[in-house]
Amino acid sequence: MSQVGYLLLPTRRSIEDYRGAAAAHPWLAGALVVSLLGLVGTPPTALFIGKLTTFTAAWDGGLAWLVVVAAINTVVSLFYYLRWLAPIFSRGRVDAVAPVSERSWAARTAVTGAFAVLVIGIAAGPILTAFSAPLLG
């Protein structure tokens, strides 16, 4: 029985252990990349829309200092999260520990979740408009 991410390959303890993951498991690697980009808050993920909305609300509320602190935090998170990308897409260890089924329910859930994060991010305009309209006009 496998689980996604860290628990999918429990013997892999470092970022370097994920070297070559994109070649061995392209769908799972893609889901991980979308998730990492979402955590940073890059477009077109749904988390970018949330971060943009929060920054805008803070700015409009006169809390420019909070926007600066959040922007610095975003820059720091770029290093923390995006350092995974090079090992994932580099050549090297290709599933030397254990084979992983991309057909497992956990793998399908990870890929579906990453796809949903992208769809919501791309369709954020109409979604926000629909939810901001008054119910009974």
Full-model pTM: 0.76
**Sign of torsion over alpha carbons 7, 9, 10, 16:** negative
Q: Name 22's Cβ contacts closer than 8 Å, sequence gap at least 6.
A: 29, 30, 88, 89
Record the tokens describing residue 3, joined without a space.
């689980």
Q: Look at residue 114 in the predicted model and tell me its pLDDT.
A: 95
Mean pLDDT of 18-43: 88
9 versus 37: the higher-pLDDT residue is 37
Q: Name 94's Cβ contacts closer than 8 Å, sequence gap at least 6.
A: 20, 23, 24
Q: Look at residue 67 in the predicted model and tell me its pLDDT.
A: 96
Mean pLDDT of 119-134: 84
Q: Name 64's Cβ contacts closer than 8 Å, sequence gap at least 6.
A: 58
Q: Look at residue 84 in the predicted model and tell me its pLDDT.
A: 85
Residue that is written with structure tokens 């408009």 in the block: 129
What is the DSSP-derived secondary structure letter of residue 17?
Answer: G
Q: Which pLDDT tens digit goes with each residue over 60-116?
A: 999 999 999 999 999 999 988 888 888 888 887 655 445 556 678 888 899 999 999
Candidate from 33-37, 94-98, 126-130 with smallest mean pLDDT? 94-98
Residue 7 has pLDDT above 60, yes or no: no
Mean pLDDT of 19-48: 89
Q: Look at residue 25 in the predicted model and tell me its pLDDT.
A: 84
Could you tell me the residue ranges of all domains in the chain?
Answer: 14-129
